[in-house]
Structure 1
Amino acid sequence: MFQSFDDTATPEAGPARLAALRGALQDEGLAGFLVPRADAHQGEYVAERDARLAWLTGFTGSAGFCIALQEIAGIFVDGRYRVQVKAQVDTDHFTPVDWPETKPADWIRTQLPEGGAVGFDPWLYTAEQIETLEQGLKGSGITLRPTANLIDGIWPDQPEPPQGQISSYPVEFAGRDHESKRAEMARELREAGHRAAIITLPDSIAWALNIRGSDIPRNPVPHAFAILQDTGHLTLFVDAAKLDDTLRAHLGGEVLTRPVNAFAPALRSLTGPVRLDKSWVPVWVVQQLDEAGVARAWGDEPPILPKACKNDAEIAATREAHLRDGAALCEFLAWFDAQAPGTITEIDVVTRLEQCRRASGKLLDISFDTIAGSGPHGALAHYRVTHKSNRTLENGDLLVLDGGGQYLDGTTDITRTLPVGDVGAEESAAFTRVLQGMIAISRLRWPGGLAGRDLDAIARYPLWLADQDYNHGTGHGVGVHLCVHEGPQRLSRISHVPFKPGMIVSNEPGYYREGAFGIRIENLVVVTEAEPLPGGDQTGKLCFETLNWVPIDRRLIEAEMLTAAERGWLNDYHARCREKIAPRLGEDAANWLMRATAAL
């Protein structure tokens, strides 16, 4: 199994570790210390060595941070984790704080009225994060002080850094060789008047060099840093143990590999202006350049937008990955529907689904730990089942099943909400509203230039009419055999990045009632140019092409709530599921698919 069911949260250890951290604060003359859920590459998923937030607090969610002061330690989490955090931390010692509603600077100002110095590790915070925090603290008498990581100093058995092997990525799936990618990025640097650019995002490096890594479970990326010159030459700072002769041959003569400890001297020797991405670059990098007097300029990492806008080969590859994954999920669903309520558990669900994905012979990993939340667990948007939390699926439950696979030709992600036996009318009505929002995004056409903030509300409109909503974005970007959460594109009210053809994003509205049930329906979609409509008077519209082809459970739909257009979309979607997936299924699953996709 790729997925384990061990309970890694250790809330009972939190008080002693917090006391040790406060001792370190006193030794350093600090009033507090910032503990993010991040590594030097700002990855959402971190290696065991970098799981400092979980080690200190017990909280294992994929987003959040702690501000530890001498008298109070706030643990900041967004709407996805507000139930989970209460179960995973000792709330007598760690105080959950609603974020982003509560701004960190405002909270620190309230808790430190006399001022003081708050420490942070400059490797783990970006220039933008610290700039925002300093602006919020202006005039308070509170300062931010870069320091060595105090958690590392009190963590006696901290794991070593990962040493995963790096391999080349086939050009048939990448669509372009890395020589042409580097040449294009270098040309863009020259046009902007920049002599070099710093690249710290692992998926940016992986995309730019057509490589994949194995430092982080679920995400096939390498831990490394890179300097791209305006000539197209690139220096990759990486542990030599991760490379072999085949990989070195793939990189070629214009890519120089150096050890990570050579990164600082290389930064200090650059000729500027050097481009830095304020959203991602560690403060430590800025410090090196500033101390050496190297001119710098803010701008996007050169791979960010080209990586997001998939080419034809990448889109074709990911279509095939989704068809393969869809067949696996349909095989699972046929099995699931044959199980009586009360006979299987959440772990049984996760295990069986992974077996179905593995049966293709092409699954390299899961793209994230499968979410299989039944009943009240479904209200935890990012629930991860453990041996301790495992629950039997009972009659009347809803099951939120969210998972995906890492295949060489694509990264998949899909959510279906499934009934266990007979489900109540209130749950079905909420499910139908979520479905209406998902259909609205699927059918959407919009003029170029709009961003996630402009489209997000469309998915929420049916829920808003019933005074319902969900505390997460409607969609995140997705890579092609890269990270399942990829920027810069998002279908979210906080995203200002315009959608462009080739961008892949999830379409996943939901509804969650704490202690009762959860609902989410998700397909991945790719931005494409829309065909003109007869009688229309505008061109240049964009639309979404659906990538996932797995039935949406008709037993939960209140058909009378759907409009004729919504019903037509669903029937057409199900007809295409039959067309695309049935030839890939065994007899039992094919028969199940025919029943599951019958027209409303």
Structure 2
Amino acid sequence: MPATFPPAIFQSFAEKSDPANVAPRLQALRAQMSQAGVDGFLIPRADAHRGESVPPSEARLAYVTGFTGSAGVAVIGPERAALFIDSRYTLQAPAQTDTTLVDVIEIGQGTTLGTEIGNYVPANGVLAYDPWLHTPAEIRELTERLAGRVTLRPVANLVDAIWTDRPAPPNAPITLRSDNLTGKSSAGKLEDLATALQAEGADAVVLNLPESICWLLNIRGSDVPNAPFVLGYATVDKDRNVALYVDGAKLTPERLAAIRPLADLVHPVAEFPAALEALGGAGKRVLVDPATAPEAVAAALKAAGATLVEKRDPVLLPKSRKNEAELAGMREAHKLDGIALAKFLAWFAQSAPTGTLTEIAIVTALEAFRREEPTCLDASFDTISGAGPNGAIVHYRVTEKTNRTLAPGELMLVDSGAQYLSGTTDITRTMACGPATDEQRDRFTRVLKGMIAISMARFPKGTSGAQIDVLARQFLWQAGVTYNHGTGHGVGAALSVHEGPIGISSRYTLPLEPGMVLSNEPGYYKSGEYGIRIENLLAVRDSAVAPGFLEFETLTLVPIDRQLIDETLLLPPERAWLNTYHARVRTEISPHLTGEVRTWLEAATAPLTD
């Protein structure tokens, strides 16, 4: 299958953001609010499928405010507006919106949407929202926080009424994923789901998360950037009857013929509301995830007489436990990625000292090396390419306006990933461009020690990511510094690069289980100077030496910059781990390389000597 990468990030929707558009769009939206008889309107970044990436037709927050980050919500009042973001976007959001009209507010440390809305919506006013874009949990929390001050009202989306040039919804073809890649047939997964529904006392479940639907039905698509998703809805009952509701444009006879026998389960998305009414009839018990389902789904089911069973999406946890076929695919994807990254890092080592490399040139080169592999379908997220001080911005995204030339003596942080036919990758490497300072080498080595500590960890079954997070932070803490992001997130198998419900940080309390794949990415960031992050992906497996214990298998096969290591800080087991890791990279990757790249890899993976 040929590579179908999107344009580089600097040519993306983010680059088209223009603060000059904010004023006329706010004016038009307020006219709609007045016509609807409401005093405010909520605009979330999310669509009905809660994806990290949304298609252009769902980018309402960006359309009105100009902000293109992956998380946020705006409150539009009759006179003032606010954009609520998290700490990742404190620099990006003010640069993309009109701050004379929109207050940018960072959520955290007591600041919440509920506590701030009263500053934008008049007392006893009506705050409208699109029930397809908010979850029952969100609406319940806001209703409680705003009780006696503001009334919430569901309405048809007011942004859609002013978005005259709104792009058409995506209608990419649905493809079937073979059982040799999935390791389990869709019929087998549906049988397991039916068993789970019976255990919960539920007659049926409604699914809206694309990763759940794609995994359950063994399908893939390309409706959103960076993830092979099919956007739609699915219903499954305890007798394994399933229906998939997708946009009618996907339902041409040719496309339906290509996905037999799944085609018999496919219905136009326009039929979904009627299906909810039928599903909820006769007092049936229907499982709905209050944290991810649209409020509109819950309301329709209740109106039809259903009893809601509010539980976590029952597909999420089974999906996170990769089977042997999925793990084999992930290993293959990381091997292919290791070949591409070896070519890229060899090119970087030769080109960086010239002082001519820009952040955009680095992104473009990395994408080009990955494109050489025919089974590479897409990037798994927009590449983070931060030179010098830009590397200290944890989720920095380069644009033409911010594009920076890497100067000799600076650090370069590149966080990237790809979607291969076989699996999903995510890797971060920090590289030196010339001699590093003692401080940079100290911080890099402490980050490396934390990454190695997680990689070497052996822990009893029942242990959560929250319990091992400190292993990665301990060496930075000893120096009186830390990092303000999680140490790791779950990763899907040829699905989303960020996959719940597990991870490595204080908020992930579910026990880790064999087959789960996580990132391992401690870091250090000195504002205005440099950033450091080292990231590998790991798979949880049963320990071969300690019954009842788990450990990690490292999937990523890419060298770590030895120039940045202060060897005096490494303990013998850490040195041994790094030498063994580099030997494995050399053994698995070098046979696929030739010439100068192979020579570079041999040197980059040479063992550290005592």
Q: What band does the TM-score fall into relative to the shorter chain?
A: over 0.9
TM-score with structure 2 setting the length: 0.93
Contact 1:3 1:369 survives alignment (8 Å): no
Residue 278 of structure 2 corresponds to 269
Residue 6 of structure 2 corresponds to 2
Secondary structure, in 3 states, of the residue corresponding to 2:89?
A: coil
Cα distance per residue 1:512-535 (max 9 Å; x no partner): 2232221111111111112234xx
Q: Confirm or deny that 1:434 pairs with 2:447.
A: yes
Matching residue within 448, 456, 478 for 1:465: 478
Q: Quickly say closer, same or farther: Cα 1:177–1:417, change in 2 above 3 A.
A: same
Secondary structure, in 3 states, of the residue corresponding to 2:131?
A: coil
Q: Confirm or deny that 1:373 pairs with 2:381.
A: no
What are the within-5 Å matches in structure 2 for residues 138-149 of structure 1? 138=147, 140-149=148-157
Secondary structure, in 3 states, of the residue corresponding to 1:527?
A: strand
Name whichever of 323-332 and 423-432 sits farther off: 423-432
Matching residue within 288, 292, 311 for 1:280: 292
Contact 1:196 1:230 survives alignment (8 Å): yes
Name whichever of 448-457 and 576-585 sits farther off: 448-457
Q: Confirm or deny that 1:336 pairs with 2:348.
A: yes
Matching residue within 335, 338, 359 for 1:346: 359
Instruction: Give the superposition deviation at 1:79.
Output: 2.0
Contact 2:39 2:126 survives alignment (8 Å): yes
Cα distance per residue 1:395-438 (max 9 Å; x no partner): 12211111111111001111101111223222222222221221
Structure 2 Cα separation of the partners of residues 532 and 229 of structure 1: 42
Cα distance per residue 1:163-185 (max 9 Å; x no partner): 11101012111001111111121
Instruction: Give the superposition deviation at 1:445.
Output: 1.7
Cα distance per residue 1:63-93 (max 9 Å; x no partner): 1221222343222222222222232222222
Contact 2:490 2:500 survives alignment (8 Å): yes
Cα distance per residue 1:6-29 (max 9 Å; x no partner): 222212212322233233333333
Q: Quickly say closer, same or farther: Cα 1:196–1:245, change in 2 above 3 A.
A: farther
Cα distance per residue 1:443-480 (max 9 Å; x no partner): 11222223232222322222222332223221111111
Q: CA RMSD in A?
A: 1.9
Q: Confirm or deny that 1:129 pairs with 2:138.
A: yes
Residue 310 of structure 1 corresponds to 322
Secondary structure, in 3 states, of the residue corresponding to 1:231?
A: coil
Instruction: Give the superposition deviation at 1:236.
Output: 0.8
Contact 1:341 1:421 survives alignment (8 Å): no
Q: Confirm or deny that 1:528 pairs with 2:541.
A: yes
Secondary structure, in 3 states, of the residue corresponding to 2:386?
A: strand
Residue 504 of structure 1 corresponds to 517
Contact 1:84 1:380 survives alignment (8 Å): no
Cα distance per residue 1:125-182 (max 9 Å; x no partner): 11112122223223x4222211111211222211111111101012111001111111
Residue 339 of structure 2 corresponds to 327
Structure 2 Cα separation of the partners of residues 8 and 511 of structure 1: 31
Matching residue within 250, 261, 284 for 1:252: 261
Instruction: Give the superposition deviation at 1:255.
Output: 5.1
TM-score with structure 1 setting the length: 0.95
Residue 536 of structure 1 corresponds to none
Contact 1:341 1:393 survives alignment (8 Å): no
Contact 1:327 1:584 survives alignment (8 Å): yes
Structure 1 Cα separation of the partners of residues 537 and 262 of structure 2: 38
* 2:321 maps to amino acid: C
Structure 2 Cα separation of the partners of residues 32 and 453 of structure 1: 38
Contact 1:234 1:254 survives alignment (8 Å): no
Q: Quickly say closer, same or farther: Cα 1:110–1:218, change in 2 above 3 A.
A: same
What are the within-5 Å matches in structure 2 for residues 147-546 of structure 1? 147-243=155-251, 250=259, 252=261, 256-270=265-279, 271=281, 272-339=284-351, 340-533=353-546, 539-546=547-554
* 2:341 maps to amino acid: L
Contact 1:168 1:247 survives alignment (8 Å): no
* 1:266 maps to amino acid: A
Secondary structure, in 3 states, of the residue corresponding to 1:315?
A: helix
Structure 2 Cα separation of the partners of residues 149 and 320 of structure 1: 44
Residue 29 of structure 1 corresponds to 37
Cα distance per residue 1:110-129 (max 9 Å; x no partner): 55573422111100011112
Secondary structure, in 3 states, of the residue corresponding to 1:438?
A: helix
Cα distance per residue 1:353-386 (max 9 Å; x no partner): 1111111222111111222111122122222222
Cα distance per residue 1:528-562 (max 9 Å; x no partner): 112234xxxxx421222110011110111122122
Instruction: Give the superposition deviation at 1:503.
Output: 0.9
Q: Quickly say closer, same or farther: Cα 1:326–1:120, change in 2 above 3 A.
A: same
Secondary structure, in 3 states, of the residue corresponding to 2:603?
A: helix
Name whichever of 143-152 and 261-270 sits farther off: 143-152
How many positions carry a matched residue from both structures? Answer: 594
Contact 2:175 2:219 survives alignment (8 Å): yes
Structure 2 Cα separation of the partners of residues 462 and 68 of structure 1: 45
Structure 2 segments unaligned to the other structure (5+ residues): none
Structure 2 Cα separation of the partners of residues 133 and 454 of structure 1: 31
Identity across the alignment (%): 46
Cα distance per residue 1:553-576 (max 9 Å; x no partner): 011112212222222221221111
Structure 1 Cα separation of the partners of residues 480 and 7 of structure 2: 37
Q: Confirm or deny that 1:551 pairs with 2:559.
A: yes
Secondary structure, in 3 states, of the residue corresponding to 1:415?
A: strand
* 1:252 maps to amino acid: P
Instruction: Give the superposition deviation at 1:195.
Output: 1.0
Q: Confirm or deny that 1:78 pairs with 2:86.
A: yes
